[in-house]
Amino acid sequence: MERKHLLYEERGAVALVTIHRPDKLNAINREMFFELRDQFAEIDARDGVRAAILTGSGEKAFAAGADIAELATLSPVEARELSALGQSVMEGMARLGKPLIAAVNGYALGGGLELALCCHFRIASDNARMGLPEVSLGVIPGYAGTQRLPRLVGPGRALEMIAGGDPIDAQEALRCGLVNRVVSREELLPTCLAIAERIALRGPIAVRFALEAVQRGLDGGLEEGARLEQALFGLLWSTDDMREGCGAFLEKRRPQFKGR
């Protein structure tokens, strides 16, 4: 389905979603949240798609933040409702059963960084600038940035970025663990595609369970997470993919996973 603010294509088993508001530096508005929700629900339901990449159109911005013209008109109740909508959409993306890679090109500020934070990992171009500058507008991050950023870079570094409001460059983002890699602008999408294509060759049920184990484990304690790992580990022994993977290893051939 064609969408106003998103471009979509499939490259083999990899879905590529591009935020497309070039006149607004890909700023996020309410309408885009609904499009993102529906797009990633479709991706999750597509058996032929085994990994996804999210990026922004053009070279200037992944997403330069929220649409301030829209935010400025909100009442307190409407602001809370928009925060709830954004958090719900991003949580759905974070719980996607397929790896979601943020290809961060240029600016990822405010809601744009929060969108990258809900992805499973982030690859940045060398011109990326990332930050949560909401305090400069007299507000705070509203799409779970105050929660996801500390879990990724630690509370001290996160509070410096959130309370200070200043963006950091790609190399600093790499040093503090905000991104997994930094590459040139020309290599950003090829690098993300190579990672996604490699993951797409693995057992899709195992990948889904691995994502669930890590994410739900981080939500609880070590003991609870370890018990979940036991349960998921055992469940995999009921799948055709497990038998195919072990059989292929013993027969010294590449496995052909079917997601069953």
Is the pLDDT reported for residue 2 higher than 80? no
Residue pair 28/143 in contact by the 8 Å Cβ criterion: no
Distances (CA, A) of 127 to 10, 101, 132, 152, 183: 26, 18, 17, 21, 9
* Domain 204-251: assigned CATH number: 1.10.12.10
Question: Would you state the pLDDT for residue 256?
Answer: 85
pTM over 0.75: yes
Its CATH class, for the domain covering 6-200, is alpha beta
> Does the pLDDT at position 249 exceed 90?
no
Look at 217 and 122; give whichever has higher pLDDT: 122
Q: Integer distance in angstroms from the first to the last C-alpha of the chain?
A: 27
168 beta partners: 130
Q: Is the pLDDT score of 222 beyond 90?
A: no
- What's the pLDDT tens digit per position in 179-217? 999 999 999 999 999 999 999 999 899 999 899 999 888
- What mean pLDDT do residues 65-73 have? 87
pLDDT over 90, % of the chain:
72
Known active-site residue 35: no
Percent of the chain with pLDDT over 70: 100
- Catalytic member of 2, 91, 134, 223: 134
Looking at residue 55, its pLDDT comes to 97
Q: What is the C-alpha to C-alpha distance for residues 15 and 8, in angstroms, rounded to an integer?
A: 7
Residue 35 has pLDDT above 70, yes or no: yes
Question: Please, what is the Cα angle at 59 between 38 and 30, to 5 degrees?
Answer: 30
pLDDT at 1: 64
Q: Is the pLDDT of residue 125 over 80?
A: yes
In degrees rounded to 5, what are phi and psi of residue 27? Answer: -60, 145
Six-digit token pair at 69?
């013209």
Virtual torsion, Cα 96, 111, 158, 191, nearest 10 deg = 60
- Rounded CA-CA distance 226/220 in Å is 10
Q: Is position 70 annotated as part of the catalytic site? A: no
Average pLDDT taken over every residue of the chain:
92
Name the residue ranges covered by the structural domains of the chain: 6-200, 204-251
Could you say which of 114, 186, 197, 229 is catalytic?
A: 114
